[in-house]
Structure formats: structure tokens, C-alpha cells
Amino acid sequence: MPRICVLHENDEWVTPLRDAFRARGLPFVEWFLDTGTVDLTTMPPDGVFYNRMSASSHTRGHRYGPEYAAAVLSWLERHGRRVLNGPRALTLEVSKVAQYAALEAGGVRTPRTIAVVGRDELIGAARGLPLPFITKHNRAGKGLGVRLFRDYDALTRYVESDAFEPSVDGITLLQEYIDAPEPCITRVEFVGGRLLYAVRVDTSQGFELCPADACRVDDAFCPVGEDAGSLFRIVEGFRHPLVERYERVLAANDIHIAGIEFIVDRDGVAYTYDINTNTNYNSEAEEAAGQSGMGAIADYLGLELARLPGFTSRPTSTKLSTVEDST
């Protein structure tokens, strides 16, 4: 019988989605793609395949999770399986350069950005940006590698020191600093390629923030703290001209579920700087607003599953680490 299959590498982030599936009696299976094998001569099982591979997988010891996921997604698409957030979505998840190219192609303004490989090149390229500016990793997540520099000498000292953190893919981004009147950004959530809601995020405590409740527990890379709920507030009745453009960008890149972040400068100009195809939600903010992101995803995946031939509702769940075990 066809099932929903969730491809991921982080158990904690999937917990609320499992709960949503079980509450709806939806059959599902998980493929944990840290290591494993896939026999390309075999046929994949029937089902709806939802890719939740994360750009920050390397911070959990899953350095090659995205590469493994790319192989599995290619195999699935080769055999005509229904894949949500497929290869193109994964490409954008692990590359901010690819994100900015897609956004600009869709008429969405992004901050001026220079992609750099090499420490010496980083120091030289920075002179092409006005002060202040920030650095960030091309392949990251949760704000990893984001640093603000108010003078060029400070960047030189950092790059030449042992504290320098290279991006896992070797590409560091130099980016213009957007001077916002308030320390906040807006994250717009989409399910099924359509607006779900927008959340206002307080960034006064820094950039390394992630809305997932699991990030509060022993995750040095996402120091949200005990008062995490107060940092995230869902905006009631959110309307913005960017929403329609975002939906077009998602459709053009075969992205079905995502969170897109933007910041507004002192002149009221919006700059979009991140597409999260492995999106998470903050339960306290959702409870206060009567929303459920994972519930919306479960409903959407359930509808996609119901369209497949041979589907009958029967709640089951399985966790697999090797793809062939499911065939």
C-alpha cells in the first residue's frame, strides 16, 4: 500500500510531524539519510516522498546527508514517484547562491552578495562592499557563520585567526548589511506552494535562531533558550506584495513546502535573504495563534497520498536507515 515517506536526518525535528500523521491516521515511513545504500537497479516503493534534508546536517555529524539525499531523489524521480521538495529544492536548500539566483529571477530583491572561495580572496573582495557588512556560509542553516564587521581590518584579523569558520562547501558569502529600524525579520511559511502564515522573529539575541522546539534542547548551534516562544510571533492577517512573488519562485523551482525570510530597511525596502526548504515551526507561537504548520503539512501530504492508485487509509509507521529495506 502506498505510504508517505519522509526523507530526513534529524529525528527531533520530525517528532511533531509524526504526531500529526498519527492523529490523522496517515500511513508513513521514515528514511533516515545519514549513511546507507540505494540499489539503482531496484524499483522504489509506491508512495508520496517528502524531502526534509537540511543544509545544517553536517553540524549533526551527517556531512554527506544532502549528497545521499540527492542520489535517492534522482532514483525516485527516475521511476516517476511523487516527490515533494525534490532535487531542485535540495539544490536551493544547500546553496544560498542558488537561492539568490532563483529569487532574483523571480523579481525578488536580495542583498548585494559576493561569493568567495579562499581566505586571501575573502579579504580582498570585502573591499568591494561598503561598511558595515556581514559574512555567512553558503551552505549553512540556523544562521551559522553569520558575523558582522564594521571595519576591514577586523575581517582580516578574523580570517587570519584560528577562529575563522569556513563553510562546509568552501564558499563564504560577503553580504551588505541591511540596517533595519527594529531587530526583527519576517519569515513567511508556505505549504502546498501557498501562504500558510508569517511569523515575526526577534533577532536581538543574534542570528543563530531556529523556530523548532527541538533546537532548545542541547543544541549549541541554535541557542534559543527558555524564552524562545517570545521571540516568535505569528502575524495575524499577514498581507504583503512579496507573497505572490514568493509563490511564483517556489513553483518555478518545484518547492512545495518552505519558509522564506526577509528584512526591511529604514527606507521600507524589503530584502529577501533565505529560503528554508526544511522548515520548522515554533509550538508556542502556533498555540497562541491557533495554527499548526506540521498539521498543515500532514493534511497536504494526506491529500497527495489519496490521489495515488491503491491507497486505502491504514495507520502505520516505520523507520528505515537503508533504502533497499523498503523495497
What is the side-by-side strand order in the sheet with 82-84? 82-84, 47-51, 3-8, 28-32, 317-320
Over residues 91-116, the mean pLDDT reads 98
* The pLDDT of residue 210: 54
CB within 8 Å of 118: residues ≥ 6 apart: none
The per-residue pLDDT for 228 is 52
- Is the pLDDT assigned to residue 29 strictly greater than 90? yes
For 234-264, write each residue's pLDDT tens digit: 999 999 999 999 999 999 999 999 999 999 9
**Tell me, what's the pLDDT at 313?**
61
Q: How confident is the model over 32-59, as a mean pLDDT?
A: 96
The Cα 294–Cα 71 span in angstroms is 26
Find, among 22, 23, 78, 71, the residue nearest to 51 by Cα.
71
Q: List pLDDT tens digits, range 172-195.
A: 999 999 999 998 999 999 999 999
Mean of all residue pLDDT scores within the chain: 89
The three grid cell numbers given for residue 242, joined into one nine-digit string: 512579496
pLDDT tens per residue, range 214-242: 443 333 223 233 345 578 999 999 999 99
For residues 151-158, average pLDDT: 96
Residue 242 CB partners (closer than 8 Å, separation 6+): 108, 188, 262, 270, 272
Q: Considering Cα of 105, then 106, then 107, then 113, what sign does the dihedral take?
A: negative
Which of 106, 36, 103 is closest to 75 using CA atoms? 36
319, containing H or E segment: strand 317-320
What are 295-313's pLDDT values in tens digits?
999 999 999 999 998 777 6
What are the helix (H) ranges across the chain? 11-23, 65-78, 87-93, 96-105, 119-125, 152-159, 242-252, 283-289, 293-306
pTM of the model: 0.89
How many alpha carbons lie under 13 Å from residue 194 in its C-beta half-sphere? 4
Query: Which position has the grid cell 508513513?
Result: 28
Q: Which pLDDT value is given to residue 230?
A: 76
Q: With pLDDT > 90 as the criterion, what percentage of the chain qualifies? A: 82
Domains annotated for the chain, with CATH where assigned, are 3-87+292-326 (3.40.50.20), 93-110+180-289 (3.30.470.20), 113-176 (3.30.1490.20)
